[in-house]
Structure 1
């Protein structure tokens, strides 16, 4: 048996997220497993580094799967790219130790959220950006983002209010930049809770629009109360940029 690690990218616009679901075949994991099953002649389980939500994109998602048969990695690479939908593409493939797991061995993940800060988005980018026509105060957003850096309990920024696992995460960096009409918010951490990135971005947007103070972000963090943080922004502008391993 061999364990294969792949790096892939996908446009999540028409998918229900990464994780396989019983009531739909429109998931990234489902599409990958269907192609692998066709190739191998039996079901193949694939593990992703994280479960991106419905509508979320990936520039470089990491996944792994095991095959009992001996397949040349180039053969697998070619087969996947031939039979996967056009909005899912495998960029790299390599053989890794059997113990490697894309999710459990990840040490750092980076997401990027893109906002079109003008009344109407570029026609060719409209599926990958969130339109916010009002001018954002980026200086205040950067100031507020500093309050979230470090190891904290991010329960207030978690979309699952019934979560029983630890909600402590380490946010290593948040950068906010602008090029012409596009505002990009890049967040790196050792892991993220359900909807955590989108809630952080939504909270920072509220700061940028003058709907909340800079100080309120730190207060929300300390409160551990979801009601104290900002709204969950649309998944449209979110993309997984990359995953790092030791």
Structure 2
């Protein structure tokens, strides 16, 4: 394992975050704060509690997950796409660095950024609503697993994309709608039976449900199912990346 190479790539990606801190950190935090103001105050005044939890506190896990998913994908996809765009990817591929080390460095940096952002948003949320975390270790586990999984997914998107517009296509057109429809702002128990069944086909439901359980002990699906679905998606991303590097898909052409 070439730890020096991993460290070099990881630190380079982390330094890029601090150079663009307004876009990488401050902008998502401000956007999430606006959600608290609009949804927590306006809608929260009409929906005082859900399952014994104030509405403002209920939406916190969903808002953190929304930022975590989008930022993980964005950080990882841009991190690998930019070397493709400027042509330095060929220097990286010809260096004595294995694809495993490349993935660890880029995905590790993207996941680190997302986890830091998630913790900042969590601290920001505590300024707006009273929070409690009943299972802090499970919360951290979900935070890390989700960040790593969707950073791997973003890495795949960065390799697949052949233009900057495609980097935003999946997060804006797929991930964000799935997150909004995945119980971020409501419990799926509030839906009619037919739509409850349809919602269970949304993979983001399992992430938000498990993450919310770590806060309040409330979930729309069993915590074990949430962890299993996250693990399945993680393994699927790893298998896909192994195939990409083995075949050179959109890397060597």
Give TM-score, length-normalised by structure 1. Answer: 0.29
**Structure (1 or 2) with the greater strand fraction:** 1
Give TM-score, length-normalised by structure 2. Answer: 0.28
